[in-house]
Structure formats: C-alpha cells, structure tokens
Structure 1
Amino acid sequence: MRASAITMQSGLYSHPELGDIRITVNGRARSIVARWNGAELRITVPPKLPQAEYDRFIDRFGPRLLATKPKPRFAIDQILDTPEVDFSIVQGWEDDKDVFMTSVEKTPVRRKYKNFYIHLSALAVDRIDTAEVQGHINRLILIGAHDASAKFVLPRARQLASEVGRRPLGWAVKESRTKLGSCSSRGIITLSPRLIFLPQELRDFVIYHELAHLSEMNHSSSFHDVCNEYCGGREQELQQRLRLFRFPVF
C-alpha cells in the first residue's frame, strides 16, 4: 500500500521525543489539534487524514510541542493536601501491583478525616515520569476525590441550598475536566470531584453558581444578580480567584 493511502486511526502511538501520543479521529474535526493532558499528548484529527500529513504536522510542530510539555505532575513522597483529606504518593514493595490505592479512615494522620495512599511498585517508580504512570496516579487520585466529595462537598452543598431557600431535584458527583458543576433543566445539580481541592470559599462559589441556575438557566444579567446575591456581593472576585486556581490533577 502506498504511504499516501495510509490514514490515521484512533489509538495510542509512541514518539521517541514526545512520548505517548493519543490520536482521536473526530468526524467534526476540520484540522489537526494537539494539546497536552499531563504527560500525554492528545491529538485530534479529521477522518481519513493521510499519515503523511500527520507526519508533516509532527515534523513541523513537534519541537514547539516538546518545548511546552508540562513537567511531571506527580512524584514519590508528594502529598496533595485538602482541608479534609490528603493523598500521599509512596513507594510500595517489589511484589505490589504496579500502582494501587489504599486509604485510612479509622485512625488518619495529619489532622485529616481520611488519608489516601497511592502505592507504586519499584518498576512504576522507575517509570513515574511516563504518561502511563502519571495517568494511572491521576485516575486513582480522582477516584479518591470522588469519594471525598460525596462525603464532604455534597453535605455542604445541601446546607447552602437550604440557606438560600433552594431545593434542587437531586445532587450528584461526576468527574469532568472541563466543568466544575452543572445544573440540568430538571434541577439536578452535578458537581465535579475536583471541588475537593478548592478552598472552601471557591467550593461555595461553584455551588452558589449552580444554585443560581435553578432560577435562571442561562448566564444573563438576571442570573449574575442572583449568583452575586448568594455570594454576598463577591461573585466577580470569586470568579477571578477560581480562574487563577491551579488544580493538582489534570
């Protein structure tokens, strides 16, 4: 088969300098789009993109992408701290599974309600800078964050709803990298587990934002009036602080 006839397929590819590259063929894509997700480069391509065109893209933009590659997010002996729980990345034993998580709730330390431990085998420690291990750690932390958010963020959300006289149809915790919260037309509010990493004022702001959508299902001036009232006149200040916040997970 001629090289020009080969088209790109969705899947995981490897590059000697860029590392793991996850290709996604998207029917709505009109051009090649690349972005880093932690240590993994994700590239979206249009259907039937010739491999030769993809190769030219990598040759042209590879050095620029390499220059913007994020530093590894996680390291051995690192502790990710939140007001209620923390996450420790530790080295396990030789016969451990590659990467796994345990938690301590009955006798937690560091004045937390719960401690999560991400255990890495010796082999995983040697590969901790790779996209595979970084991604595995990230997924486990988000699983723990989901547990913690259900236990600590949702009760606070219900309390704030009661204080402002709102009664959502329901609450849920669901992972989303792009949305910290959402409110359905039925009145169900969904919060991201990433809220557990926010300071309390910013958590409250996200919750108030979604509660305001129970009155206004848009971002009109009326919506902002409601949200600002819930926030004690600090909506813009809190919005700016939220934009500047850097989450410890990707």
Structure 2
Amino acid sequence: MTSLYVHPRLGEVTLSQTVRARRISISVRATGAVRLSFPCGVPQKRALDFLEQKAEWIGAARERLARKRASLPSQLPPEERKARIEELRRAAKADLPGRIGRLSEATGLKYEKLSIRASRTKWGSCSGSNHISLSLFLMTLPEHLRDYVIVHELCHTVHHDHSPRFHALVDRLVGGREKALNRELRAFTIR
C-alpha cells in the first residue's frame, strides 16, 4: 500500500507499506524525493517516528545529492542523448553477456536469463526466477565496478534479499572488498 504523507519540514514523503519490506527504511532519490518503506506488521506511527528520527540525515542526503547534481554536466540535446544511449547499448551488448558468463562460471552461480535495459534507477536487478537485468549505463563504470555489480546480482540467485548471508557471499566472492567497492560505486551516478 502506497500513500503520500506531508512532513512539516521534509515536505512530501511517499509511504510504502509492503510485504517485501523486512525493516523500516528510507531512501532519498537523486531528485530529493523521499520514500519511507516498512513491513505490513509495523504500525504507520512507528514508521513515522523513524522518519522523524532520520530527518537530519535526510536533509544532509538531499544537500549532498543537490551538490552532486550541480556538478554534473548540463543535459545533452535529445538527439545527442539518444545517440549516446545507442552507443552505450551497443557497447553493453558486446561486453555484458560475455562478462556475466565468465563471472557465472568463475563463481558457480547460475542465472536464467540476461536483459540489458536503459535503467536509470539501478545498475542491476535479479528477479525471483533468477532473470538478471543490467543497466546499459554500467558501461560508464570502470571494469572492476561492472564486475562487482554483476557479482552482486549473481549472489541474488542464491539469496533474494540483502541479508547478512547475502553480503557475506558477495564479500567472499570479491575478496573481502564488498564495502570498499560499494563505497566506490556510490560515487557514480547513472546519467
């Protein structure tokens, strides 16, 4: 169930109460939009109390994202943007299937199908039926971060969550560098 809540200081916040949520969490989009997700068994008041406790953190995250947006180059004209996306799509189709194949073989983690999309919200995802979707914008990342994202998604074929067991598997497969690689990846934005 999704609804809109107007916070006195933060403005509009999307409330999302779902069976998929394991805990109360807050996400702040690049646009500054805030989403509060919480499990069905958690009362809305408790989730809103959590939001209140994190109001300063949300403000700081919004400022950081605004600075990041300000430092980005201005938008390309539509024709150039379309040409750039097609160039990235060709590069992704040439690189990503072989890369995921090699990493799947090296790790022993099997996936059902690979899709390459122009996703701007996430680098990759893995469905419950182990279909992996990768963003063509991975081609803007250094190769070692492309590999990290793919290993992350392959680990979802074993653990379809972000549990400690999932992170332990990722960490083991990236040589104990999961936190460092994740930090490095967060410095990049999909554009």
TM-score normalised by length of structure 1 = 0.48
Bigger radius of gyration, 1 or 2? Answer: 1
SS of match in other structure, 1:154: helix
Partner of 1:93: none
Is 2:141 aligned against 1:198? Answer: yes
How many angstroms apart in 2 are the aligned matches of 1:136 and 1:73? Answer: 16
1:167-210, Cα deviation, whole Å (9 max, x unpaired):
20111101111110000101111100011111111000000000
**Residues 73 and 134 in structure 1, CA contact (< 8 A), matched pair in contact too:** no
Unaligned runs of 5+ in 1: 1-26, 44-66, 75-130
SS of match in other structure, 2:133: strand
Q: Could you tell me how far 1:30 is from its partner in structure 2?
A: 5.4
Higher fraction of helix:
2
- Taking only aligned residues, the RMSD between alpha carbons, in angstroms, comes to 3.0
Is 2:129 aligned against 1:149? Answer: no
In the superposition, relative to structure 1, how do residues 145 and 212 fare at CA in structure 2: closer, same or farther (>3 Å)? Answer: same
How many angstroms apart in 2 are the aligned matches of 1:234 and 1:72? Answer: 28
Q: Could you tell me how far 1:146 is from its partner in structure 2?
A: 1.4
Partner of 1:170: 113
In the superposition, relative to structure 1, how do residues 71 and 224 fare at CA in structure 2: closer, same or farther (>3 Å)? Answer: closer
Is 2:175 aligned against 1:227? Answer: no
How many angstroms apart in 1 are the aligned matches of 2:121 and 2:115? Answer: 16
How many angstroms apart in 1 are the aligned matches of 2:155 and 2:108? Answer: 11
Is 2:70 aligned against 1:73? Answer: no
1:9-62, Cα deviation, whole Å (9 max, x unpaired):
xxxxxxxxxxxxxxxxxx9555677xxx9xxx9x9xxxxxxxxxxxxxxxxxxx
How many angstroms apart in 1 are the aligned matches of 2:129 and 2:72? Answer: 41
How many angstroms apart in 2 are the aligned matches of 1:191 and 1:154? Answer: 10
Letter in 1 for 2:103: L
SS of match in other structure, 2:97: helix
Is 2:79 aligned against 1:139? Answer: no
**Residues 72 and 134 in structure 1, CA contact (< 8 A), matched pair in contact too:** no
Letter in 2 for 1:187: N
How many angstroms apart in 2 are the aligned matches of 1:200 and 1:174? Answer: 18
Aligned residues: 138
SS of match in other structure, 1:173: strand
Give the % identical residues.
Answer: 30
Unaligned runs of 5+ in 2: 13-29, 34-65
TM-score normalised by length of structure 2 = 0.62
SS of match in other structure, 1:216: coil
Letter in 2 for 1:170: K
